[in-house]
Structure 1
Amino acid sequence: MGYNVNSLGDQFFKDMAWGGLTQTEVFLNGKSQVDKNRIIEVNWVENTLSNQYSVSPKGTKACD
């Protein structure tokens, strides 16, 4: 909730999609360590709404 699709760009949404695939062989063996770190960090920040890893959440909490 709260995502401005036009300003975030494709990479953000690709990282979010990869977030559900972090335990797959294609993620573990097919992505560079830099890409894996970015994907994990982006998903962590969005899931927790925390400001970690020098990344700020882009969305807002959908419900309590």
Structure 2
Amino acid sequence: MSKRAMIAAGGVVVGLILIPLIGFLPALLVLIGVPVVAYLMLDPSQRRRLRHISRKELR
């Protein structure tokens, strides 16, 4: 299993665990909010580089 697939599977598991504990909408907000906050914490140069790199080059 590739590293990306393991991260995606981990995200699904965390989402499934959070739904019964805190409800559907808060769990959805957590799953969407964490990557958004991580993106916003990048420097402008890092964001620009991330937008221009193709998915195959991200590792």
Which structure is larger by alpha-carbon Rg, 1 or 2? 2
Structure with more relative contact order (C-alpha pairs < 8 Å, separation 6 or more): 1
More helix per residue: 2
With the length of structure 2 as denominator, give the TM-score of the two structures: 0.32
With the length of structure 1 as denominator, give the TM-score of the two structures: 0.30
